[in-house]
Amino acid sequence: MLIDLTGKTALVTGSTQGIGFAIAAGLARAGARVAVNGRRQESVAAAITKLEEETDREGAFVPAPGDIATDEGAHQVGTAVPDADILVNNLGVFGAVPALEISDAEWRRYFEVNVLTAVRMIRAYLPGMKDRSWGRILNVASDSAVVIPAEMIHYGMSKTALLAVTRGFAKEAAGTGVTVNSLIAGPTHTGGVEDFVYELVDANLPWDEAQREFMAAHRPQSLLQRLIEPEEIANMAVYLSSPFASATTGGAVRVDGGYVDSILP
């Protein structure tokens, strides 16, 4: 399948590393002009340099620094990228905290960062997509939205809410040529996840052994029985951002390695 996104502008939030970085690279390889977002200008510039090297697409990336968890940061990003054909809401935070020790402030922070940033970005870019009768909005959710992890129920809550946000905005975009979907990512190998794994297993274990122990003890439902690589998530994100996915909207599409034990998406 040849996906051609030439002429399209994409904004990927939280794209200086991990899954967001991989999605930015995948969209650029398909021909899109990609706005790279992170809180600091320095991290965005470093990510763009690396992306240009990895994709061999010099000039395809636009800096869009700004903390979109704040109104000021969201405005800063909107100034850098006034219009987008593709919006990927990837920004998120996670971490292991015993359920009874999660403070009110942490509950609010997870909702602000993992849910309201997506709402804020959709409000900014959906009207223009509707006016142009074409657009793709993708919210990066998680298996934790469906299988709430005991060690971070505040994270699971936020990703469940994101599924509801997706379905609701898909209805807002009904009949306009704009699709809105969630991508349910399974346990994925990123730098942040490596740190998370070592919070739950012996920190002295070599990585391959630590990964195996983590999957066996904390994610035994996985049919892959390994962490997913960010590029595997990006492959689905690029497809959902393409014209080929024109009949997929309001959905929660799984790239979870079979982690969610369900025969329905």
Domains of the chain, earliest start first: 9-188+230-255 (3.40.50.720), 191-227 (no CATH)
Which phi and psi (to 5°) does residue 240 adopt?
Answer: -65, -20
| Predicted pLDDT at 193 | 87
pLDDT at 265 over 80: no
What percentage of the chain carries pLDDT values higher than 90?
94
pLDDT at 264 over 90: no
| Predicted pLDDT at 16 | 98
CA pair distance 36, 88, nearest whole angstrom: 11
239 is catalytic: no
Catalytic residue among 110, 125, 155, 259: 155
| Predicted pLDDT at 192 | 85
What percentage of the chain carries pLDDT values higher than 70?
100
Produce one character per residue of 122-157: b if its CB has 16 or more CB atoms within 10 Å, e if not: bebbbeebbeeebbbbbbbbbbbbbbbbebbbbbbb
| Predicted pLDDT at 191 | 87
Helix (H) or strand (E) holding 156: helix 153-172
pLDDT at 52 over 90: yes
| Predicted pLDDT at 145 | 97
Give this prediction's pTM: 0.95
- Helix spans in 219-262 (H): 230-240
